[in-house]
Amino acid sequence: MKTAIFEKNNVLELIIKKWRSRKRFKNLLQAFLENRKHIIIAEHDYYRILQAMKQEKKQSSKSKYVRRIRILLKHSDVRAFRKVPRDVITMNTEFSIRTRKGKIIYLKLVYPHEVDKSKRHTSVFSLLGVSLLGRRKGDAIRKNFVIHEIGYQPEARNDFV
């Protein structure tokens, strides 16, 4: 008799923990999207990211950043490539970020299959990649980084692969 009550309490505790974790996840997503409700993204990047998400799903790698990028895409302003401002980080954009200490780091935002750490490529499905997509020159990423300069943006030069 006592074991049945004990088991019910454990199940109830598990349900409460899951509910709290979902609520915490929603709060984190709201904080994440707080300053980024309308990011600008190029139309072809939007569809390529969706395709990359489908490939990630087929590989059954459950990345929490894929979920974040899905939510980010829902709140994005999808534009034709000629209407994307030149100071926005899009896919295959080469840019630099400045740390709080003044160090400048050069990066390129790429799709997951193009990542090459030696060339300082950052996947769009990484934490940094999700944070960078759609940001503009001068935007702060948390309090530690600022987008310093956009070196190369494919949309600005009509260069598409």
Q: So what's the pLDDT on residue 19?
A: 55
Q: Give the pLDDT band of residue 14 (cuts 50, 70, 90).
A: low
Separation CA 69–CA 38 (nearest Å): 13
Is the per-residue pLDDT at 8 higher than 50? no
pLDDT in tens, 46-77: 999 999 888 877 776 656 777 788 888 888 89
Q: So what's the pLDDT on residue 108?
A: 94
pLDDT in tens, 81-129: 888 899 999 999 999 999 989 999 999 999 988 998 889 999 998 888 8
Q: So what's the pLDDT on residue 5?
A: 43
Q: Which two tokens stand for residue 94?
A: 């080469």
Q: What ranges do the domains of the chain cover?
A: 1-34, 37-152
Is the per-residue pLDDT at 28 higher than 70? no
Q: So what's the pLDDT on residue 22?
A: 62
Q: So what's the pLDDT on residue 20?
A: 58
What fold is seen in the domain 37-152? Chitinase A; domain 3 (3.10.50)
